[in-house]
Amino acid sequence: MNSKIKILPEKLCNQIAAGEVVERPASVVKELVENSLDAGADEVTVEIDRGGKKRIVVSDNGCGMGHDDVFLCFERHATSKIRSEEDLFHLAYHGFRGEALPSIAAVSRLSVLSRSADDDCGLRLDLVGGQIKHTDEVGVPCGTTFEVKDLFFNLPARRKFLRKDDTEFGHISEIITRLALAHPSVHFKLIHNGRVILDLYRQNSSLDRIAMVLGRTIVGELLPVDSNQGQMVLSGFVARPTINRSATSAIYSFVNGRFVKDRVLHHAIMDGYRQLLMKGRYPVCVLFLQLDSEMVDVNVHPTKHEVRFHDQRTVHQFVSQSVRNVLRDSTREKATIAQMPFPSPSLDHGIANQKSRSIDCLVADRPFTEKPVAPLAHVAEHAPAYRVDTVTQQHREVVDDDLAKLPSDDKGYFESLTVIGQYQRSYILCEDGTDLVLIDQHAAHERIGFERFKKQYSSGCIAAQELLFPDIIELNIREDTELRDQQQQMERLGFELEHFGGLSWAIKTIPTFLAESDVKSMVCDVLEELTSVGDSALTQDAFDAVLITMACHGMIRANQRLDVIEMKSLLKQLDGVDFNQHCPHGRPVLQRLQRNDIEKMFRRI
Interface residue with ligand ADP, options 35, 320, 330, 581 (CB under 6 A): 35
Question: CA torsion 187→192→194→195, rounded to 10°?
Answer: -70
Q: Burial level of 285, CB count in 10 A (0-12/13-18/19+)?
A: buried
Distances (CA, A) of 550 to 294, 450, 521, 527, 533: 44, 8, 11, 10, 14
Q: Is 62 in the site for ligand ADP (CB under 6 A)?
A: yes
User: How many amino acids of this chain bind ligand ADP (CB under 6 A)?
Assistant: 22
63's contact among Mg ion, ligand ADP, none, with CB below 5 to 8 A by partner kind, is: ligand ADP
Nearest by Cα to 62 from 132, 146, 147: 146
Spatial contact of 154 and 129, defined as CB atoms under 8 Å apart:
yes
Q: Is 108 in the site for ligand ADP (CB under 6 A)?
A: no
Q: Is 76 in the site for ligand ADP (CB under 6 A)?
A: no
Q: Is 36 in the site for ligand ADP (CB under 6 A)?
A: yes
Instruction: Spell out the alpha helix ranges (H) of 379-512.
Output: 389-400, 441-458, 477-492
Candidates 10-18, 34-42, 69-77, 221-229: pick the segment binding Mg ion (CB under 5 A).
34-42
Spatial contact of 218 and 239, defined as CB atoms under 8 Å apart:
yes
Q: Is 78 in the site for ligand ADP (CB under 6 A)?
A: yes
Q: Is 47 in the site for ligand ADP (CB under 6 A)?
A: no
Instruction: Give me the 539-578 binding string for ligand ADP, x by CB under 6 A, dash otherwise.
Output: ----------------------------------------
Considering beta carbons, is residue 34 or 165 the nearer one to ligand ADP? 34
Q: Is 29 in the site for ligand ADP (CB under 6 A)?
A: no
Q: Is 96 in the site for ligand ADP (CB under 6 A)?
A: yes
Instruction: Give me the 133-172 binding string for ligand ADP, x by CB under 6 A, dash otherwise.
Output: -----------x----------------------------
Candidates 89-97, 142-150, 500-508, 560-568: pick the segment binding Mg ion (CB under 5 A).
89-97
Q: Is 66 in the site for ligand ADP (CB under 6 A)?
A: no
Q: What is the rounded CA–CA span in Å between residue 264 and residue 285?
A: 16
Nearest by Cα to 178 from 125, 86, 253: 253
Instruction: Give the contacts of 113 (CB within 8 A, at least 6 positions apart).
Output: 122, 123, 124, 125, 138, 140, 144, 145
Question: CA torsion 533→535→538→544, rounded to 10°?
Answer: 0
Q: Is 100 in the site for Mg ion (CB under 5 A)?
A: yes
Candidates 62-70, 242-250, 441-449, 540-548: pick the segment binding ligand ADP (CB under 6 A).
62-70
Residue 86 CB, nearest approach to ligand ADP (Å): 17
Candidates 79-87, 233-241, 242-250, 265-273: pick the segment binding ligand ADP (CB under 6 A).
79-87
Considering beta carbons, is residue 100 or 462 the nearer one to Mg ion? 100
Considering beta carbons, is residue 66 or 343 the nearer one to ligand ADP? 66
81's contact among Mg ion, ligand ADP, none, with CB below 5 to 8 A by partner kind, is: ligand ADP
Q: Is 80 in the site for ligand ADP (CB under 6 A)?
A: yes
Nearest by Cα to 589 from 408, 397, 445: 445
Q: Is 60 in the site for ligand ADP (CB under 6 A)?
A: yes
Residue type, 386: Y
Spatial contact of 355 and 341, defined as CB atoms under 8 Å apart:
yes
Site for ligand ADP in 367-406 (CB under 6 A): none
Instruction: Give the contacts of 140 (CB within 8 A, at least 6 positions apart).
Output: 113, 115, 121, 122
Instruction: Spell out the alpha helix ranges (H) of 401-476.
Output: 441-458
Q: What is the rounded CA–CA span in Å between residue 159 and residue 24?
A: 9
Q: What is the DSSP string of 546-598?
A: HHHHHHHTTSPPTT----HHHHHHHHHHHHTSTTTTB-TTS-BSEEEE-HHHH
Interface residue with ligand ADP, options 17, 26, 29, 101 (CB under 6 A): 101
Q: Please state whether beta strands 590-593 and 131-138 pair in parallel, antiparallel, or not at all (unpaired).
A: unpaired
Q: Is 81 in the site for ligand ADP (CB under 6 A)?
A: yes
The closest residue (CB) to ligand ADP is 95
Neighbours of 142 (CB within 10 A): 16
Residue 61 CB, nearest approach to ligand ADP (Å): 10
Give the gyration radius of the chain's Cα atoms: 31
Residue 35 CB, nearest approach to ligand ADP (Å): 3
Neighbours of 230 (CB within 10 A): 10
Q: Is 95 in the site for Mg ion (CB under 5 A)?
A: yes
Considering beta carbons, is residue 36 or 581 the nearer one to Mg ion? 36
Residue type, 340: M
547's contact among ligand ADP, Mg ion, none, with CB below 5 to 8 A by partner kind, is: none
Residue 286 CB, nearest approach to ligand ADP (Å): 25
Interface residue with ligand ADP, options 39, 106, 286, 315 (CB under 6 A): 39
Considering beta carbons, is residue 80 or 321 the nearer one to Mg ion? 80
Q: Is 115 helix (H, G, I), strand (E, B) or coil?
A: strand
Q: Is 35 in the site for Mg ion (CB under 5 A)?
A: yes
Which residues contribute to the site for ligand ADP (CB under 6 A)?
A: 31, 35-36, 39, 60, 62-65, 73, 78-81, 95-101, 144
Which residues contribute to the site for Mg ion (CB under 5 A)?
A: 35, 95, 100
